[in-house]
Amino acid sequence: MDCKKVIADYWNLRSSTYTNGENGFDEEERIVWRRMLENSLPSGQKLKVLDVGTGPGFLALLFAEMGHEVTAVDISLGMLEKARNNAKSLGIKVDFFHGDAENLPFEDCYFDLVVNKYLLWTLPRPKAAVQEWRRVLKPGGKVFAIDGNWFNPRPDKRIKRWITGVVNTDMNKNPPRSFFDEFYGPIRNSLPLYEDISPENISVVFSKMGFANTAVNPLQEVQEFKKSKLSFTQRFLRDTSIFLITGQKTA
């Protein structure tokens, strides 16, 4: 089975609703994320930033608003169309490319910062991707990877996801769980981080692939903001923690 084709097909179909749900472009939420990103970088520098698996362009547009020169890449043409429309409506310039996180269409040592959000869990070869991110970074450049353990196999987590799938289905926001399973069910065993993603194992991959100064940020302010927007029931059902792992290319 061609995993990458299945993944691109899923996200092409999902692109029409993805930004209508919890991954929306709510201005209040964007401000919280932007503050976190600004605090994670030295101030006053204009960086060449690459957002990998940009989807509707959430991180790409934030970094561009912060004054950086941003390039973004995604395997889904549907998502790229969304991202281009979002950039247009915000009046922001980002260079968007169609491409694969594990085989990037960019030259060596070009970027100062490679970022990605909610991408690693869906990659068939995460180590190859991390190696590529290192290749396109300048020496001294940094990587920021944001993710969460969305498909934790623990029985209590599975039950919560099942209930969420039943109570939270809205074709304009969250398609039914069966829609996701139709695509990811047959390929999930080919995705090494699908059920087993944590700050610890991403840090190990980063170190193995030659990144130094690896650090974990628990994204406390972002998580508190997200929680504050949920009802009591939603809070109980959606208990996945997100995190940011950073690393640096030293040579």
Ligand X SMILES: C[S@@+](CC[C@H](N)C(=O)[O-])C[C@H]1O[C@@H](n2cnc3c(N)ncnc32)[C@H](O)[C@@H]1O
- Residue 241 near residue 149, CB atoms below 8 Å: yes
Tell me how far, at minimum, the Cβ of 245 lies from ligand X, in Å. Answer: 15
Query: In what helix (H) or strand (E) does residue 159 lie, and over which residues does it extend?
Result: helix 155-167
Q: How far apart (Å, rounded) are the C-alpha atoms in residues 241 and 157?
A: 12
> Beta strands 111-117 and 242-249: pairing type?
unpaired
At 43, the amino acid letter reads: S
Q: How far apart (Å, rounded) are the C-alpha atoms in residues 233 and 34?
A: 28
Tell me how far, at minimum, the Cβ of 92 lies from ligand X, in Å. Answer: 16
Which residue has its beta carbon closest to ligand X?
55
Residue 73 vs 202, nearer CB to ligand X:
73
Residues near ligand X, by CB under 6 A: 7, 11, 23, 53-56, 58, 73-76, 79, 100-102, 117-119, 122-123
Tell me how far, at minimum, the Cβ of 146 lies from ligand X, in Å. Answer: 7
Tell me how far, at minimum, the Cβ of 114 lies from ligand X, in Å. Answer: 12
Q: How far apart (Å, rounded) are the C-alpha atoms in residues 251 and 236?
A: 45
Q: How far apart (Å, rounded) are the C-alpha atoms in residues 11 and 18?
A: 9
Residue 56 vs 175, nearer CB to ligand X:
56
- Residue 195 near residue 224, CB atoms below 8 Å: no
Residue 74 vs 213, nearer CB to ligand X:
74
> Beta strands 48-52 and 111-117: pairing type?
parallel
Residue 120 vs 237, nearer CB to ligand X:
120
Tell me how far, at minimum, the Cβ of 55 lies from ligand X, in Å. Answer: 2
Tell me how far, at minimum, the Cβ of 4 lies from ligand X, in Å. Answer: 6
Residue 51 vs 112, nearer CB to ligand X:
51
Residue 2 vs 156, nearer CB to ligand X:
2
φ and ψ of 14, to 5 deg = -70, -20
Q: What is the dihedral of CA 20, 22, 23, 27, to 10 degrees?
A: 90
